[in-house]
Amino acid sequence: MDAVNEALKKCRDICAMYGGEINKNDSEELYNIFRSEALNVGYFLGCSDGKVSDAEIMTINVVFSILVDADMLKDSYGTDIIGEDSIIRNVPKSLEIIARGEKDANMGSKCYLVSTREVLDTFILIANLIINCDGGRLQYPVMLLQHFTNMCTGFIEQLEENDELIMHDPGNVRGAYKTGSTGSESVNIEPVKDINEILNEIDSLIGLHSVKKEVHDMVNLMMVQRFRQTRGLKCTDISRHMVFIGNPGTGKTTIAREMAQAYHSIGILKSGHLIETDRSGLVAGYMGQTAQKVHDVVESALDGVLFIDEAYTLVSEHEGDYGQEAIDTLLKLMEDNRDRLVVIVAGYPEQMERFINSNPGLKSRFNKYVHFEDYSDEELMQIFLTYCREQDYLINESLYPCILERISQLRYYEGEHFGNARSVRNFFEQVISNQANRIVSRMAGAGADRAIMEITQSDL
């Protein structure tokens, strides 16, 4: 396993180097695609003898730091091992993007694609580990792996010799090189992020200490339940829906997005996407239209998380309001799609308590509460400084007391309308506007580069 871990680490670095073609703002996206494709190759080879064994599933879980079973793998990748769309018959898209990126780095000239071959070696290493774990090498999996290796090697060699670099659309997530074909075909794969990576992202957020513990506890519980399920043990029916209680700007949407990724990573949901909505996205102004709006929103959220902000606004005592129709429709769809949908409702503390207690159906389905405390002034200052770093602004430590004072004033003057991180974001935008007004007349002079980056006390 040490060799596999070292190879995966090297592939992560290579993917970060060439991942700009997928998403310039996300260096991990290409690596996640590579992981998903490597898992796909290993799974197909594992089940090519008729059934993926427990030992093969365990090896997959250990290699990729996930928790899946045969049914989850089948749902994610299917069983068509040698069909036209099978990854065994296509160069993995991650390998193609890396190869073309490395070729491009060599100005399209003849070259030896070192990084690309290292990534292919990792595909082969993982595949061999999986097909060997049952104690013997069966002929058919070995033959398929040899075909896959020859196909990928042929693609690399062709690109190494070819002086012309023909870029393919990096949005196609499955490779474009096939045996006997150079056509392109698009098949979507949802990259699976490592659960430890997701939890590290959550832990790196400023503040939210009690929330982080709640998330860890929830993930640990779900992982153990999934593991018991793979062993044929009884599992407690635990509601996955949650209530996020807190004031605006306390990180509720951010945590909801991370929870969607976490549920995907541990196999609770087939997708890690988040659909955000509120009353306006669910309630219509005429009879019969509300149910259809709710159906449409839920349909878009299936296999992911539906996040309803200010959910308490669905409850109204006004005659002719269709908020109750939205709630009733939502509850039915939650029951009909209980294995494909997680709903997170969010809002102010007092209002959310009244919302949940307004309907027995809501109270029975939403029994997991996560409380988001207001940020302290010191935490809000760290958030402000993070905005500065991310946007390439410089600020001297001597100004920290001034920043704390301004944040305290914001909290006082905005009162119950104070938006925590949201208010600090508005403050940051006002500060850089003040800075722009101060320096605009001397942007071309000496020291202009530092001037456009530095924030002074007058800007605050």
Identify the CA nearest to 269 among candidates 197, 332, 341, 221.
341
14-43: pLDDT as tens digits: 998 887 655 555 668 889 999 999 999 999
The number of beta carbons lying within 10 Å of the beta carbon of residue 203 is 12
Identify the CA nearest to 273 among candidates 338, 193, 339, 208.
193
Cα separations in angstroms, 425 against 6, 296, 328, 376, 428: 40, 33, 37, 15, 5
Percentage with pLDDT > 90 across the chain: 28
Identify the CA nearest to 338 among candidates 306, 291, 371.
306
pTM, rounded to two decimals: 0.61
262-307: pLDDT as tens digits: 888 887 888 878 999 988 888 887 777 888 889 989 999 998 999 9
Lowest mean pLDDT, pick from 31-40, 120-129, 376-385, 434-443: 434-443
Structural domains in the chain, CATH included, are: 2-161 (no CATH), 195-372 (3.40.50.300), 377-459 (1.10.8.60)
